[in-house]
Chains A and B, each alone.
Chain A
Amino acid sequence: AQTVTQSQPEMSVQEAETVTLSCTYDTSESDYYLFWYKQPPSRQMILVIRQEAYKQQNATENRFSVNFQKAAKSFSLKISDSQLGDAAMYFCAYRSARGGGKLIFGQGTELSVKP
């Protein structure tokens, strides 16, 4: 069975600085997708960024980028120029390319942004 691990329960960053959130996963599959979701206090789950495992190029969405290391089964999220609005819980998620789309989530990392 696939598992997703986020080893940092809490992280803190100064406004305008850069922070990296870690995620590792375990799978025997070669084709899959990875996602980062943001959950602010409103509890809405917001898709931040996504990565196809077959793509070597790391995904980027504005200030958000990932470092995808397939061999190491690592999928970290980098937030550049952190803003107060980035404060939230961040969840890493895995989805097999087979089947209907069940997401397997990590435990989450709570990010605080200091002004």
Chain B
Amino acid sequence: GAGVSQTPSNKVTEKGKYVELRCDPISGHTALYWYRQSLGQGPEFLIYFQGTGAADDSGLPNDRFFAVRPEGSVSTLKIQRTERGDSAVYLCASRGRTGAGELFFGEGSRLTVL
């Protein structure tokens, strides 16, 4: 696609439920990132994929968070046993091989845990 696509744009769930957030990066971009952004804060790094493998998952807050990218394109961020503190906007970004190394962000998935 022309840009990074994220679904759903909004997700409201109850505490304790399981949630999946999807990211479709720009075609041909091998690097994919997940960030989390709380109100009034900068994006917080969660995980980075180069191809299919998670090259760096040091930003995942705990083992309730997991992300996959099985075919090196679409990625899914999975959150188990959601907590109210997980409420935030989850941003996906991709980066190509050329250019300044800039990240291209999607519109984000706003997660609200009640």
Are A and B part of the same complex?
A: no
